[in-house]
Amino acid sequence: MNITIIGAGVIGMTSAYYLSKEGHDITIIDKGDGSDNCSFGNAGYISPSHFIPLASPGIVAQGLKWMLSNTSPFYIKPRLDASLIRWGLKFYSKSNEKTVAKNAPHLNDILQLSRNLMIDMDKEFDHGFRLEQKGCLMLYKSEKTGKHEIELAHEARRFGLETQILTAHQVQQMEPEVAVEVMGGVYFPIDCHLHPGQMMKSLYSKTQKEGVKILFSHEVEDFETQSDQVKAVITNNGKINCDQLIIAAGSWLEIVSKKLGIQLLLQPGKGYSTTYVKRSKNLQHPAILVDDRVAVTPLGTELRIGGTMELSGINSKIEMNRVSPIVHAVNTYFPDLHLDVQPIEKIWSGLRPCSPDGLPYIGRSPHHNNVIIAGGHAMLGISLAAATGLLIRQLVQKQKTEISIDPFRIDR
Ligand SMILES: Cc1cc2nc3c(=O)[nH]c(=O)nc-3n(C[C@H](O)[C@H](O)[C@H](O)COP(=O)(O)OP(=O)(O)OC[C@H]3O[C@@H](n4cnc5c(N)ncnc54)[C@H](O)[C@@H]3O)c2cc1C
């Protein structure tokens, strides 16, 4: 089959990886140059621990409180945008116990499947992703956050996840190289992490060796259709014919899908990261500094830190007033690290493709018989990439899917 995939992010690439094993003729189209997108500079967590969707009770009240501060980890740029308003209303209506109880088991299933597949893929790629199975620490400084994290740990156990509730002393023992200033932590041994940039480079080189064509600097502008079939993709660099189309355009998913009359709700959630090289002392485990919503990832002798969720539309502008609090937070948890705020050229930004209910979109277009959508993975794109790629292959091949994809359908 002649398959065209729009988007050379992690979701498009894992789809290509699984499909190329079946001998299909695959072309990936991307408007970028292959050196960056949201899949490159993120924190690299593979997080079965994140089985509670972003839309959950308390998040709206917390978000409104954060909105009042220009240095907080969450920000919505006020604007009259119909898509943002529809998304916000849906997010609000989904942030309740009932929806979390319904969605968390599905998120748990796909997270667990994806973790195992990603470990296999890294092995097959001669550890080119630099994947490490060291777990992840959720660290907290306040009693209120601790109570919440411990409740989550108990909930995780009900889902069969191993968790360890740690005192400050026990956290310190796990991080012998640096002083740790916390009230306590919860450890999820099942979590893993990898080097996202290395993972993307490995995916590009391995799939190309397997015969996948990647056309960078090709921006999708329109489609050629015949009844319920997409016949070709029109780009600024020419027309590409297809038997099967997969749209994996990250934060541009809503815009690209709309050209085919497919309506879905999606908002780009901007986040930042910055990487410190050649650390003489480093962390041994990735950690989330829960009170401040900051992620820290040791990558060999490098240390990457990141955070913030800015709903300010499609833009990659770096707001230093939101970057400095990330650095400050890390220094308050790990005072020995003495991190400086790096210059703006060393700050990376990426757009998380956020669906309003915290589940990805994986399924067929309701209006076409040869279009599949894969996206909206928000803060879990790396965690869910391998399972998404496998499910896309099973959808294309019209096979029974590994897990039910009904919860992820486009018109849910
Ligand atoms: C600070 C930060 C930290 C994060 N940490 C983690 C983490 O630890 N773990 C985790 O699981 N996730 C994490 N994420 C989320 C993760 O990075 C994303 O979910 C994931 O990268 C999304 O992948 P994608 O392939 O859908 O999109 P992208 O990587 O953005 O790829 C989409 C591609 O589509 C292309 N495209 C769009 N429109 C067009 C068009 N019209 N024509 C041609 N090409 C087009 C774009 O150029 C782009 O290359 C983090 C994100 C951020 C910002």
pLDDT single digits (tens) 248-295: 999 999 999 999 999 999 999 999 999 999 999 999 999 999 999 999
Contact between 375 and 268 (Cβ < 8 Å): no
CA distance 45 to 41: 12
Q: Lowest mean pLDDT: which of 47-56, 181-190, 323-332?
A: 47-56
Q: How confident is the model at residue 60 (pLDDT cuts 50, 70, 90)?
A: confident
Residue 324 lies in a domain: yes
Give the range of the structural domain holding residue 67, as residue numbers without chain letter.
Answer: 49-102+130-190+266-354
Residue 110 lies in a domain: no
Helix, coil or strand: residue 17: helix
CA distance 115 to 135: 12
Q: How confident is the model at residue 216 (pLDDT cuts 50, 70, 90)?
A: very high
Q: Is 44 in the pocket of ligand 1 (CB under 6 A)?
A: yes
Closest among 380, 338, 340, 334 to 360, alpha carbons compared: 380
Residue 277 lies in a domain: yes
Q: Is 10 in the pocket of ligand 1 (CB under 6 A)?
A: yes
According to the model, what pLDDT value does residue 24 have?
A: 95
User: 398 C-alpha vs ligand 1 centroid, how far in Å?
Assistant: 26
Alpha carbon nearest to ligand 1 atom 18, residue: 381
Q: Which of 331, 354, 377 is the last residue of a domain?
A: 354
Q: Is 271 in the pocket of ligand 1 (CB under 6 A)?
A: yes
The residue count for the chain: 412
Contact between 149 and 290 (Cβ < 8 Å): yes
Q: Could you tell me how many helices (H) and strands (E) the chain has, helices first?
A: 10, 20
Residues 222 and 255 in one domain: yes
According to the model, what pLDDT value does residue 65 have?
A: 80
Q: What is the CATH number of the domain that holds 391?
A: 3.50.50.60
Q: How confident is the model at residue 97 (pLDDT cuts 50, 70, 90)?
A: very high
Residues 184 and 220 in one domain: no
Domain count, the chain: 2
Residues 168 and 35 in one domain: no
Q: How confident is the model at residue 77 (pLDDT cuts 50, 70, 90)?
A: confident
CA distance 122 to 350: 23
Q: Where are the beta strands (DSSP E) in 104-176?
A: 136-140, 164-167
Q: Is 350 in the pocket of ligand 1 (CB under 6 A)?
A: yes
Residues 374 and 403 in one domain: yes
User: 350 C-alpha vs ligand 1 centroid, how far in Å?
Assistant: 7
Contact between 275 and 300 (Cβ < 8 Å): no
Q: In testing the pocket of ligand 1, which one of 37, 318, 384 has its CB within 8 Å of the most ligand atoms?
A: 37
Q: Which residues is 226 bridged to in the sheet?
A: 229
Residue 330 lies in a domain: yes
Residue 180 lies in a domain: yes
85 has a pLDDT exceeding 80: yes
CA distance 248 to 361: 10
Residue 116 lies in a domain: no
Residue 258 lies in a domain: yes
Backbone torsion region of residue 268, taken as left when φ is above 0, otherwise alpha when ψ lies between -120 and 50, otherwise beta? beta
According to the model, what pLDDT value does residue 64 have?
A: 79
Q: How confident is the model at residue 361 (pLDDT cuts 50, 70, 90)?
A: very high
User: 37 C-alpha vs ligand 1 centroid, how far in Å?
Assistant: 6
User: 46 C-alpha vs ligand 1 centroid, how far in Å?
Assistant: 15
Helix, coil or strand: residue 347: strand
Q: Lowest mean pLDDT: which of 56-70, 101-115, 163-177?
A: 56-70
According to the model, what pLDDT value does residue 412 have?
A: 92
Q: Where are the beta strands (DSSP E) in 123-262?
A: 136-140, 164-167, 184-188, 192-193, 213-215, 220-226, 229-235, 238-241, 244-247
According to the model, what pLDDT value does residue 58 have?
A: 83
Q: What is the CATH number of the domain that holds 343?
A: 3.30.9.10
198 has a pLDDT exceeding 80: yes
Q: In testing the pocket of ligand 1, which one of 239, 322, 352 has its CB within 8 Å of the most ligand atoms?
A: 352
Tokens coding 42:
């993120």
Residues 400 and 281 in one domain: no
According to the model, what pLDDT value does residue 75 have?
A: 87
According to the model, what pLDDT value does residue 61 have?
A: 80
Residue-wise pLDDT tens digits, 158-177? 999 999 999 999 999 999 99
Residue 44 lies in a domain: no
Residues 138 and 276 in one domain: yes
Q: How confident is the model at residue 55 (pLDDT cuts 50, 70, 90)?
A: confident
Residues 34 and 80 in one domain: no
Closest among 367, 370, 392 to 232, alpha carbons compared: 370
Of 95 and 216, the one with more pLDDT: 216
